[in-house]
Amino acid sequence: MGKVVYIFGNDISTDAIYPGRYMATVLPTETPQFCFADYTELNKKLNSKEYPVGSVLIGGNNFGCGSSREQAASTILGHGIVVIAKDYARIFLQNAINLGLNLITCPDIEADLDDEVEVVGDKVVNKTKGKEFSTIPLPAARMVIVEAGGLVAYTRKKVIAKYAK
């Protein structure tokens, strides 16, 4: 369970999540410091660990649109925060899956700042409002990548099988 710490509108681009000027920093261990760097307050609080693991960011439609930069997924992953959005842009969603970042798709989500929110099974429960919202699960083809622990682990198995032949 976590508290809602930020609410975004629609079409939040990967430029907003991880501004281009930090793209020379590529390693997943180094990207978290620039998470939402242009949202100065949010970035400061993330970096000072003011938000505990499991804190929630709420997004609208088309979250993660634009550039394919994978840093936009690794930067969020590094903070252990949960993203619940109405839907996601394709490449960002795939990058998140590949890195093992579990994005929650919840088309009807209602939440305000500081609401206590929990993901239970295929529902998002907003405890503060006493309401439940259905989530859309990942397609099976993507779920197997998450279950393998991300694409590196999934590919590794395939590579071993390929060269064992």
Binding site for other proteins (CB under 8 A): 11, 13, 15-16, 19-21, 23-27, 38, 61-62, 65-70, 73, 87, 89-91, 94-95, 98-99, 139-142, 144-145, 150-152, 154-156, 158-160, 162-163
**CB-wise, 120 or 143, nearer to other proteins?**
143
Residue 42 tokens read as 């949010």
**CB-wise, 7 or 125, nearer to other proteins?**
7
Burial of 158 (0-12, 13-18, 19+ CB in 10 A): exposed
Provide, rounded to whole angstroms, the least separation between the CB of residue 84 and other proteins.
17
**CB-wise, 89 or 103, nearer to other proteins?**
89
Question: How far is 125 from 134, CA to CA, in rounded Å?
Answer: 9
**CB-wise, 27 or 130, nearer to other proteins?**
27
Provide, rounded to whole angstroms, the least separation between the CB of residue 145 and other proteins.
7
Provide, rounded to whole angstroms, the least separation between the CB of residue 159 and other proteins.
5
Question: How far is 108 from 61, CA to CA, in rounded Å?
Answer: 11
Question: How far is 16 from 145, CA to CA, in rounded Å?
Answer: 26
Task: Name every residue whose Cβ is closer than 8 Å to that of residue 46 and which is 6 or more positions away in sequence.
Answer: 32, 35, 36, 79, 81
